Chain A
Amino acid sequence: MNKSQKILAITSIAVVIVAISLWYGSHNGLLPATASGEAELYDRLFNQLIAIATGLFLLIQGLIIYSIFKFRQRKGDETDGPHIADNAVLELAWTAVPTMIVLWIGITSFDVYNVMHYQEGDSGMMAMAGHMHHKLMPQLMQEANAATLQEGNTPAPADPDETVVEVAGMQYAWIFTYPGTEVVSAELHLPVGRKVRLKISANDVIHSFWVPQLRMKQDAVPGESTEMEFTPNKIGEYPIVCAELCGSQHGGMRAQMFIDSPETYAAWIEENQETASVEDHKAIAQLDLQAIQTQALRQAPIIATHLAHTH
């Protein structure tokens, strides 16, 4: 093979690798359906990373497999290979290129994180939080701002229409309380298209609130309050999964999240409100809790022992 043939071969292999990577990046189908705008943003980042990973995977595995065939010892050849121990250009390249790739991943991830994650304080504080970051890492933040503007996800002022739900994790159930109403439920109902804030707590051990279709997860830590924010954009029924080991029935700690149309949501709240108001709502709530916690109650003696022990 002469030099120009070699260059042609290498170029065409590179083109094929890039093409496969780009195609797989957008057609991997590895993620479940999305239920929020944040999740769509996540998928874009994930697909970009998958494209990069696919390219590197093909490159390195290709080199290894090629070497195994091309450079295997031939029968009777007991000699050594060439004495080549370094190459400054190559070594510089495989230090610099990965550095640039991971920094790019860092910056891009920061953009996405900035949009997806819950900001401390209410959402009106977002701009201020942004400024704090600005001081810490100006470059990253500028990138982030540019990206958020492009996305059209400019931080909105405090939203009085935000739906707030208190989420409590306990062995082995999730309890959803709707402040301002008397609704306490084992199902999470949310109106589509409105910002949601979940105030997450834990009663016994650490749990983790995860909805795969939201691409979000937040630990519920006893003694601490954590939050999660998102805007659901697709009506449907989605699984809520406990992602942090919480005991023997951890795998069974599942619930459902319903993204409803605003009308259905209002009706659901009203219906549950009525049930709660008919009798002493506390008693009902207690009953509800008991129904929900049948499994948890089996653990009650342990919790009691534990409480007695720790006081």
Chain B
Amino acid sequence: MTQTQIQPISAASNQNPSEHPERHWRDYFTFCVDHKVIGIQYLVTTFFFYLVGGVLASIVRGELATPDQDLLPPGVYNQMFTMHGTIMIFLWIVPAVTGGFGNYLIPLMIGARDMAFPKLNAIAFWLIIPGALMLMGSFFVGSSESGWTAYPPLSLITEFKVGQALWIFSIIVLGTSSILAAVNFVVTIWAMRMPGMGLFQMPLFCWSMLATSCLVIVATPVLAGAMTLLAFDLLAGTSFFNPTGGGNPVVYQHLFWFYSHPAVYVMILPVFGMISEILPVHSRKPIFGYKAIAYSSMFICVLGLVVWAHHMFTSGTPDWLRVFFMIATLLIAVPTGIKVFSWVATIWGGKLRLNSAMLFALGFVSMFVVGGLSGVTLASVPIDIHVHDTYYVVAHFHYVLFGGSVFGIYAGFYHWYPKIVGRMLNEFWGKVHFVLTFVGFNLCFFPMHILGLQGMPRRVAQYDPQFATINQICSFGAFILAISTFPFLFNAVWCWFKGEKAIANPWHALTLEWTTASPPIVENWENEPELLTDPYDYGMGHTYDQQGHVILANAS
């Protein structure tokens, strides 16, 4: 099957490349089946929702700048953080890293012309739109106020029933989109690799997308089930989770976290893969421990499915369950540690090009380590029982999801922007963006560890005045973080039109996406792509021509 997937292009178009159809800007607003168009559609759409989620976060931090509830009416604050969390997870990180980078890069990295099921791919993207419209629409009818976890009975007795229902349906639609995309990735990676590319010749991003997609396929249907039952409880008066009718609210928590813990790996595994691509290129060294990193992705995928109840250590779960989930959760630190140490060994002894992509990638490793270490402390049942549902947890998951995923996404933007757009980003503004993001992020989230340990619960609009100073620091950091988005936006938009033209392979990278033009032509390559080197063959004396195409050391 692998051998037959690549359609030969007619000889005529080979001879005359200018006859290739060009992408028109209108294509980006249509049901286009080109994986590159879909990837860009995902990236632009999700970045818009990142800005919406960011505005909500700023409102939340504005309220928390003072101990009293004085900025927002009661209840509205809860809607703000509920929508912030939901948007950032379901409309930003998950679709950006899987649908966005996954769609754009996977076929290019494995030498395929497109994804296995191009129409399914477009359907998956266009499902995002109704899901997003429902979620945004809920702002006008009073949106969900029960947190992104929507625990019953709170989510059932809400006064914003329509908003809660829209929230549920939106999650079901977005989850469906996610499942469709995941099926496509598994088949594409498994069956559409170019001749000669074995599983262990794949770039590590492909491994991480394989692991991610397996997780999505196993876990997301369970979330859809939980949401469906919750919708029945909310709208039809059933009592699956409603204790007044004999239902069990803790069962909901199990179903919810059976998806939502793996969702954390869905948000971070593709980013792990992106970092494993970016670090070797800009360090000019092979990735250290390729197989260990590939296997650790799969190990996280398997283990990630059996750690969900660590979100429920205080829910009154049985003792044996807590101990089992503690050990399983602690063990996840091992494959994750392998990755971190391998990344550090990759940069060690290299010749680091400290450009914006590399700075964000190094920032990712550095920040993710903090989130990982606090994660290990949270895995310990007794430790968690004190800090569960406090700002310590808020700090932890923002280090993983912002310091981790978002830093990684930015690294990916800077790294692949020349390929996607065909123009270089401005390095000066890239560095300004990095410094502001790094400083703002740490000011905003590091002090939250202390808040949680000292006794501040999460999801509150009013708090003990003894925490006022630290909260002001956090809010100030959030302000810098909000500002930090502007240099990036300015840079990305300006350079789209006016940036310096990018050659095919500006970073002298060895993965296949850099062997075609920037941006790639509609069919990805003029001729059959050629696998000249392994993906990380740096330090073997290869040189590069004017377009950045590799000239093998033994060939010159």
Contact = CB atoms under 8 A, between A and B. Distances in A.
A306 B156 CA distance: 8
Most chain B beta-carbon contacts within 10 A, residue among A102, A140, A204: A102
B380 A310 contact: no
A247 B315 CA distance: 18
A64 B237 contact: no
Interface residues of B, number: 102
A26 interface: no
A236 to B, nearest CB: 14
B537 to A, nearest CB: 8
Given A61-B366, A221-B315, A72 B383 contact: no
A72 B348 CA distance: 10
A81 B350 contact: yes
Contacts of B369: 56-57, 60-61
Interface in B64-83: 69, 74-75, 77-78
Interface residues of A, number: 92
Nearest to A69: B352
Contacts of B538: 80-81, 83
Nearest to B282: A73
Contacts of B287: 85
Nearest to A79: B351
Nearest to B77: A248
A306 B244 contact: yes
A82 B454 contact: no
Nearest to A246: B154
Contacts of B316: 218-219, 221, 224, 226
Contact of A306 (B157, B345, B352, B389): B157
Contacts of B288: 84-87
A145 to B, nearest CB: 15
Contacts, number: 296
Given A31-B453, A109-B380, A87 B345 contact: yes
Contacts of A57: 369-370, 373
Given A31-B453, A102-B333, A243-B389, A67 B344 contact: yes
B147 interface: yes
Interface string B340-370: 1110110111111110000000100110011
Nearest to A244: B389
A136 B386 contact: no
A57 B337 CA distance: 12
B230 to A, nearest CB: 14
Contacts of A196: none
Contact of B382 (A71, A82, A116, A136): A116
Contact of A49 (B242, B380, B385): B380
A82 B349 contact: yes
Contact of B383 (A49, A64, A99): A49
Nearest to A96: B334
A255 interface: no
Contacts of A242: 457
Given A72-B354, A81-B538, A87-B289, 8 more contacts: A45-B380, A53-B374, A72-B351, A73-B351, A73-B353, A113-B381, A137-B323, A310-B156
Interface of A: 30-32, 42, 45-46, 49-50, 53, 56-57, 60-61, 63-64, 67-68, 71-74, 77, 79-87, 90-91, 94-95, 98-99, 102-103, 105-106, 109-110, 112-113, 116-117, 120, 129, 133, 136-137, 140, 204-206, 208, 210, 212-213, 215-219, 221-224, 226, 239, 241-252, 254, 302-303, 305-307, 309-311
Interface of B: 69, 74-75, 77-78, 145-147, 149, 151, 153-154, 156-157, 159, 237, 239, 242-250, 283-292, 314-316, 319-320, 322-323, 326-327, 330-331, 333-334, 337-338, 340-342, 344-345, 347-354, 362, 365-366, 369-370, 373-374, 376-377, 379-383, 385-386, 388-390, 449-450, 453-455, 457, 459-464, 536-542
